[in-house]
Amino acid sequence: MKQEIILCRSLATDLERVLQQQSFDKLFLLTDEATHRCCAPLLGEALLGQVEEVVIPAGDTHKTLDTLASVWQALSCRGATRRSMLINLGGGMVTDLGGFAASTFKRGIGYLNIPTTLLAMVDAAVGGKTGINFNGLKNEIGVFNPAAYVLLDTAFLRTLDRPNLLSGYAEMLKHGLISTVAHWAELLNVEIADTVCVDYDALRAPVRRSVQVKEEIVAQDPLEQGLRKALNLGHTVGHAFESLAMAEHRAVLHGYAVAWGLVCELYLSNRLVGFPVGKMRQTVDFIRERYGTFTFDCNDYETLYELMTHDKKNRAGVIHFTLLREVGEICLDQTADKELIFEMLDFYRENGVG
């Protein structure tokens, strides 16, 4: 099923129009504690008067089976049927978990996504991936099932601090790397020095372009059998960093982990398929200056390697990477031996960021 992406001028008006086109008996709104407080009021009093709100704890540490079960429980106890509809209002944690809840409750009810973070707007809420973390691994359980509509309103970005803006920007940078030199270069010239100085209206165009990159890829490969793996650039290593951080109770923002993963996987791209060292250095410097460093030492290499073996792109226990020969020239299903992966981690620690 193809989802429709709407770049809103008036969220309340656009949402009302979308809901008028849908058929449902009950309407539910899933938020976390933060979006319940900061974002739900932007939907308008008329809508809030007709929805049953389900509120879950905020943060990726709550993207769990227990939280999922609490959403199922709320839907069941409040009389949801197969003709009910769920609106997910929040960041990637809410849209991932809410999408999975909707996809599995009574074998599937309709749902909409209204992403409230930059990361969710350009990545998590678009493309139909849903799921939860499980057994210490990111997004280990889930299904492909796109929302009927995704409503994007950059006004929500005003609720974000700089780290959360940068977290989303890392996914935009990835989209630039897998698309065109012009788009990549444009993204390297945008500065998010301070949220006070951000031109949020000016972000509409690059956000739309970033979403288009993902839409075009997903349309060609909705179930990630081939080309869609391009969207995993930076994620094989990034998810390993994220899982290690989670295990050590020092959780990091997803986009930061992706940015650090890009440093590593651009190094592999240079070593294995000849990605230009100059473009690698430009991108690495951009990331180093804005995202800092994820600290680990050589004693963590085996753990990180083991975490990479759980990546969903792998086959027969062999780690597969998405790499680049050039900006926009994607090389899927690339492999590296353990020695080179450890060399990549050396590069990250010694030369990449710090």
Catalytic residue among 62, 174, 209, 224: 224
Contacts 24+ apart (CB under 8 A), 197-204: 198/157, 198/165, 200/154, 200/155, 200/157, 200/158, 201/154, 203/118, 203/154, 203/157, 204/7, 204/154
We report the CATH number of the domain holding residue 105 as 3.40.50.1970
Tokens of 184: 């990549």
Q: Does residue 197 share a domain with residue 135?
A: no
Among 107, 138, 159, identify where a domain stops: 159
pLDDT number for residue 78 = 97
- Ordered per-residue pLDDT tens for the chain, 354 residues: 678 999 998 898 999 999 999 999 999 999 999 999 999 998 887 687 889 999 999 998 999 999 999 999 999 999 999 999 999 999 999 999 999 999 999 999 999 999 999 999 999 999 999 999 999 888 999 999 999 999 999 889 988 899 999 999 999 999 999 999 999 999 998 877 666 567 777 788 889 999 999 999 999 999 888 999 999 999 999 999 999 999 999 989 999 999 999 999 999 999 999 999 999 999 999 999 999 999 999 999 999 999 999 988 888 789 999 999 999 999 999 999 999 999 999 999 986 444
In a shared domain, residues 344 and 225? yes
What CATH number did the domain enclosing 304 receive?
1.20.1090.10
If asked whether residues 171 and 124 sit together in one domain, one would say no
Q: Check whether residue 147 and residue 103 sit in a common domain.
A: yes
Residues 325 and 209 in one domain: yes
Q: Are residues 91 and 203 in the same domain?
A: no
| Measured distance CA(113)–CA(125) in Å, rounded | 6
Q: What is the pLDDT of residue 193?
A: 65
Can 88 be counted among the known catalytic residues? Answer: no
Q: Are residues 173 and 253 in the same domain?
A: yes
198/249 same-domain check: yes
Give the active site residue among 88, 113, 232, 270.
232
Domain endpoint, select from 134, 159, 184: 159
Query: According to the model, what pLDDT value does residue 354 have?
Result: 42
Please report the pLDDT score of residue 195 as a whole number: 64
Which one from 254, 290, 320, 349 is the annotated catalytic residue? 254
The structural domain count of the chain equals: 2
Q: Which of 133, 171, 175, 229 is catalytic?
A: 171
User: Is residue 279 annotated as part of the catalytic site, yes or no?
Assistant: no
Q: Has 36 been annotated as catalytic?
A: no
Residue 1 pLDDT: 63
**166 with 155, same domain?**
no
- Domain match, 70 and 190 both: no
Domain boundary, last residue among 129, 159, 189: 159
Q: What is the DSSP string of 185-243?
A: HHHHT---S-GGG--TGGGHHHHHHHHHHHHHHHHH-TT-SSGGGGGGTTHHHHHHHHH
Max intra-chain CA distance, the chain: 60
249 & 346 share domain: yes
Does 289 qualify as catalytic in the annotation? no
Contact yes or no for 143/165 (Cβ under 8 A): no
Active site residue 214: yes
Choose the catalytic residue: 62, 138, 174, 228: 228
Domain extent at residue 24:
4-159
pTM here is: 0.90
Residue 16 a catalytic site member: no
145 is catalytic: no
From 36, 62, 63, 129, the catalytic residue: 129
